[in-house]
Structure 1
Amino acid sequence: MDFESLRKKLAEHNQEHLLDFVNDLDEKSKQVLYNDITNTNIAEVVRFFNAATASMDTQTKVDDKMEPIPTEMFGSVTRSGKILKQWEKTGLEAVGKSKVCVLLLAGGQGTRLGVNYPKGMYNVGLPSGKPLYHLQAERILRLQRYSKEETGLSGTIPWYIMTSEHTQEPTEEYFASRNFFGLQKEDIVFFEQNMLPCMSFDGKIIMSNKGKIARAPDGNGGLYRALGEKVLGDMERRGIQYIHVYCVDNILVKMADPTFIGFCISKGANCGAKVVEKSYPTEPVGVVCRVDGKYQVVEYSEITLRTAEKRNEDGRLVFSAGNICNHFFTFDFLKEVVNENEPFLKHHVAKKKIPYVNEQGNIITPEKPNGIKMEKFVFDVFEFSNNFVVFEVLREDEFSPLKNSDKAEKDNPTTAKHALMSLHHRWVLNAGGSFVDKNDSLIPAIPSKRLKLDTTIRKPKTMASDKNGNDRRSANDVDHSLVICEVSPLVSYAGEGLEEVVSNKRFQSPLLLTEKYIKDKEMQIK
């Protein structure tokens, strides 16, 4: 270990402080630190920092450059009519021919959720007790069966799971201990995203202790560097043509949604985004649109209120396509991004509270942000697409993220649980079933769209209204305490096939509709 030469190299980038405590370490710890530093491209890290902070300082509003998505490249579950079934058929055929895979972004830690294990292992308190990973695995299983029922083709949907240094080992152990939730082991591919050093505001790499650099995952946009030859090669070997990418924390995510896949295929798209309509103009979500003729996600902080409030003649917001990190790529597009475009993706700055070792060698846990983590975003590749499409879905059907603990007012375990049970309640109602209370009186249906305030809806502390004065809220604001209903993903992927099970039947809450429940009922009838 030549620390003297290493110190000189570090000095070239003003990072020689990384060796301040080297003499306090034992030989084993010195070797760990030496490897940690020499395996880090310091020049590249400093270049990333300079570029990211420079763009942060020069950020301007982009209102005048923005255009909405062209009508011909826009699809919607509420406005596309009968063609939805054709899109679904196209998607199911692609699944049946084993041309579709799903790619899960699961590198983040559950810090805001208040747990020290991967989010996918979190149980929000459903009657089944199934965590997110379990629900998602069974949706894949059901979709494979559904595709065979509809097309006669027996396809497989490989599941690629991007973890990080913090989530890789516990995630792999968890899947193995659950026997991969019924999926074939060889059809689940784990790979790890890269970690980047955390930086102080003045451009110094932060040390987490005397002998280790503080690091964080390089954002969900780190996907493209992490894919590399190994994962892309596996996709190519399997004949994958279409990739569905999503984040682990959305409890309502539809794995490899055949309607979305079919829509993208029918449009000849090489890249697509699934979106939800913004609830109100100032909702803090990014919007998918065009800027200077290129597709991208514009954050709410990058536009003025005047632009956010613009409406079409039908009263809808002009820039209403709320990003939910749910994307479609063709294999050829993804391969081109990885091999050619990835170096051009910019890093974004996230100011964070990062534990560090001070000049006295003590580890400090800061009470306010003291440094930055550099991240790339998965949607930053939209600009490279020459045939980009957007597909709008209902928020109450497909988007309820789990980001915070129940101490927060939204996006917490309770809102996620309620969103899923509300959806499944409506599945049962739409299939001809009904719910009754202990007195055998019918329980009113839960509304699937935003309604004026009534006794089943809690008024939040702050409430936005549309131009007609109607309340604008998500499914998170509905009180679902009347009905506890969960439908196993193995029974139904998206509400299909429930008629013969629930039609003209009356149920009492709680209802857990599983394959075993159905078989037991069939036996009772016999």
Structure 2
Amino acid sequence: MDAESLRQSLAKNGQEHLLQFWDKLSDAEKSSLQKQISSIEVESVLSSFHDVMKDVDHAQKKIDDKLKPVSTDVFGSFVKSSQDKLKSFEEKGLTQIGQNKVGVLLLAGGQGTRLGVNYPKGMVNVSLPSEKTLFQLQAERILKVQQLAKKLTGQKCVIPWYIMTSEHTKGPTEEFFKKHNYFGLDKNDLTIFEQSRLPCIRFDGKIILEAPSKIAMAPDGNGGLYRALRNHQILEDMSTRGIEYVHVYCVDNILVKMADPIFIGFCIDKGARCGAKSVVKESPTESVGVVCKVDGIYQVVEYSEISLQTAQLRDSDGNLVFNAGNICNHFFTLDFLKEVSSIAQEKNLKYHIAKKKIPFVTEDGQTSKPETPNGIKMEKFVFDVFQFCSDRDFAVWEVLREEEFSPLKNSDKESKDTPTTCRQAIFKLHQRYVEKAGGKFINSDGKTDLVVCEISPLVSYAGEGLNDLVANKTFVPPVDIEMGANGVLIKDGAQ
């Protein structure tokens, strides 16, 4: 397309400003800008922008009178389930894993900006004794749960790992796994793909030009998963492998249980096509979304959309009524993913907006960073598909926060969701594993307050298999239980 045709095409949607520096660009820059423009469905993007801006005022209104908590018919709880029931769920999940019917899908598009690093979050090391990164911990949990499934079923099995990255994290993620030999996984069972991007838009509806030949673009949110599954033929790969169930989760939760057989078994037992893990909210004002119903439709409502009065409501047992905190940990059947990833259905997912300070080009061709928000980024959320579920095919599984949810979002300059809080969450969980298996800890000064204890996922997935290793033994922190070439190695401060 020549420059004049391109200009006319943009003018139809009021975006001809994207070519304001055209005559000053090199041929390579012109080619690059033209490719960027061609990659954007301008009319569709602007239509979505106008729709979402109309909804802004409505979204800022409290929706208390439309809310209802999760139905008891779809709800289950780890704490309230009997040991026999939990074992039944676990065996059901492990059986499906053993039959190669389970895959895991990681949402890993975020950079570690708030952490103060310039690489993908999965590469972050929170200073555990082992120095393992989030990626390594997750890879080893996959290996271990495969072993548990083989032990139960007698069949060798594989859990394919699909990792959705963004433009900025794809290359580093691929190189990191290659450098570390895929942490013992078969590279053919690891698929890394990239989510789409959308242009950033000024409040007046103009697409933002970041530099003379560069449009300001941003990832389309973790809800961009559904388009990416379609565009990269991921669903076809899953079908070819015989996968029927998919566990989807976010990279920054250091306690995440990969392909959690109990969660999978629970959802299958419920006949669910879509499921979510939840944790009990710490307080009415905790800034996490809540899984609930709005006008009879399942969705996640942000804490800011609910008045304090409603957030504080409690039932007859003293529990918060709206208590199912969302932790971005989901179950989907492959059939459900195929349905919601279709072009027709995916378009029914509305965009959310985030007001941002977006770098823009000035009249003299220089890039400027604004001090206040000057535009929006549009995104979709992975849980937006809850709206396509009913009580018949939706499930919510409540888990213990201290065992399954410790996100890594901030640097240690903050007080919450930091490398330190993640590291301590691992230590406390693994201390409980050892003590439950009959082991004891005593510091060199005779106290037992903060215990430094790390157990490799290759040794134990969720506390199982430790009795013979630690029962009736006393350990002096720091304690490191690792899998060596010749078996389990236990090191502690007494050595």
2:39 and 2:477 map into 1 onto residues whose CA distance is 57
Q: Contact 1:269/1:388 (CA < 8 Å) preserved in 2?
A: yes
**1:399-438 Cα shifts (integer Å, max 9, x gaps):** 0111111122211111111111111111111111111111
Q: Contact 2:482/2:489 (CA < 8 Å) preserved in 1?
A: no
Q: Contact 2:291/2:298 (CA < 8 Å) preserved in 1?
A: yes
Provide structure 1 residue ranges, at least 5 long, that are not aligned to the other structure.
445-481
* Mapping for residues 384-399 of structure 1, pairs under 5 Å: 384-386=388-390, 387-399=393-405
**1:313-344 Cα shifts (integer Å, max 9, x gaps):** 11111110000000000111111111141010
Q: Please state whether the residue corresponding to 1:85 is helix, strand or coil.
A: helix
Q: Which residue of 1 aligns with 2:136?
A: 134
**Pairing 1:264–2:264 present:** no
**Pairing 1:504–2:472 present:** yes
Q: Contact 1:127/1:486 (CA < 8 Å) preserved in 2?
A: yes
Q: Contact 1:434/1:442 (CA < 8 Å) preserved in 2?
A: no
Deviation at 1:289, TM superposition (A): 0.8
- Compare 118-127 and 53-62 and name the one that shifted more: 53-62
2:318 and 2:126 map into 1 onto residues whose CA distance is 36
Q: Which residue of 2 aligns with 1:350?
A: 354
Q: Contact 1:501/1:518 (CA < 8 Å) preserved in 2?
A: no
1:45 and 1:383 map into 2 onto residues whose CA distance is 22
Q: Which residue of 1 aligns with 2:448?
A: 443
2:156 and 2:389 map into 1 onto residues whose CA distance is 31
1:519 and 1:382 map into 2 onto residues whose CA distance is 43
1:40 and 1:183 map into 2 onto residues whose CA distance is 37
Q: Please state whether the residue corresponding to 1:276 is helix, strand or coil.
A: strand
* Mapping for residues 349-428 of structure 1, pairs under 5 Å: 349-386=353-390, 387-428=393-434
- What number of residue pairs does the alignment pair up? 484
**Pairing 1:123–2:120 present:** no
2:12 and 2:153 map into 1 onto residues whose CA distance is 63
Deviation at 1:442, TM superposition (A): 5.5
Q: Contact 2:201/2:208 (CA < 8 Å) preserved in 1?
A: yes
1:438 and 1:409 map into 2 onto residues whose CA distance is 28
1:259 and 1:348 map into 2 onto residues whose CA distance is 32
Q: Contact 1:209/1:357 (CA < 8 Å) preserved in 2?
A: yes
1:382 and 1:56 map into 2 onto residues whose CA distance is 21
**1:125-166 Cα shifts (integer Å, max 9, x gaps):** 111111100000000000000111233232211001101111
* Mapping for residues 91-130 of structure 1, pairs under 5 Å: 91-130=93-132
**Pairing 1:327–2:330 present:** yes
CA 1:165–1:198 in 2, change beyond 3 Å: closer, same or farther?
Answer: same
Q: Please state whether the residue corresponding to 1:240 is helix, strand or coil.
A: coil
The structure 1 residue matched to 2:181, chosen from 179, 182, 206, is 179
Q: Contact 2:481/2:488 (CA < 8 Å) preserved in 1?
A: no
Q: Which residue of 2 aligns with 1:476?
A: none
Provide structure 2 residue ranges, at least 5 long, that are not aligned to the other structure.
none
Q: Contact 1:223/1:378 (CA < 8 Å) preserved in 2?
A: yes
Q: Please state whether the residue corresponding to 1:71 is helix, strand or coil.
A: coil
CA 1:76–1:489 in 2, change beyond 3 Å: closer, same or farther?
Answer: same
**1:264-302 Cα shifts (integer Å, max 9, x gaps):** 000000011000000111111110011111110011111
Deviation at 1:483, TM superposition (A): 1.5
The structure 2 residue matched to 1:513, chosen from 477, 481, 487, is 481
Query: What TM-score, normalized to structure 2?
Result: 0.95
Q: Contact 2:68/2:292 (CA < 8 Å) preserved in 1?
A: yes
**1:420-473 Cα shifts (integer Å, max 9, x gaps):** 11111111111111111114x3625xxxxxxxxxxxxxxxxxxxxxxxxxxxxx
Deviation at 1:519, TM superposition (A): 4.1
Q: Contact 1:275/1:322 (CA < 8 Å) preserved in 2?
A: yes
Deviation at 1:368, TM superposition (A): 2.4
Q: Which residue of 2 aligns with 1:284?
A: 287
Letter of the structure 2 residue corresponding to residue 407 of structure 1? K
Deviation at 1:488, TM superposition (A): 0.4
**1:351-398 Cα shifts (integer Å, max 9, x gaps):** 112111112211112222221110000000001023111000011110
Q: Which residue of 2 aligns with 1:207?
A: 209
2:14 and 2:350 map into 1 onto residues whose CA distance is 23
1:267 and 1:298 map into 2 onto residues whose CA distance is 24
Q: Contact 2:199/2:218 (CA < 8 Å) preserved in 1?
A: yes
Q: Which residue of 2 aligns with 1:433?
A: 439
Deviation at 1:518, TM superposition (A): 5.3
1:286 and 1:521 map into 2 onto residues whose CA distance is 40
Deviation at 1:520, TM superposition (A): 5.0
1:407 and 1:23 map into 2 onto residues whose CA distance is 47
Q: Contact 1:93/1:153 (CA < 8 Å) preserved in 2?
A: no
CA RMSD, Structure 1 to Structure 2 (Å): 1.4
Q: Contact 2:115/2:409 (CA < 8 Å) preserved in 1?
A: yes
The structure 2 residue matched to 1:236, chosen from 239, 249, 269, is 239
Q: Which residue of 2 aligns with 1:61?
A: 62
Q: Which residue of 1 aligns with 2:455?
A: 487
2:150 and 2:365 map into 1 onto residues whose CA distance is 62
Residue identity over aligned pairs, in percent, reads 60
2:429 and 2:315 map into 1 onto residues whose CA distance is 30
Letter of the structure 1 residue corresponding to residue 423 of structure 2? K
2:8 and 2:52 map into 1 onto residues whose CA distance is 26
Q: Contact 2:114/2:409 (CA < 8 Å) preserved in 1?
A: yes
The structure 2 residue matched to 1:197, chosen from 196, 199, 209, is 199
**Pairing 1:28–2:23 present:** no
Q: Contact 2:479/2:490 (CA < 8 Å) preserved in 1?
A: no
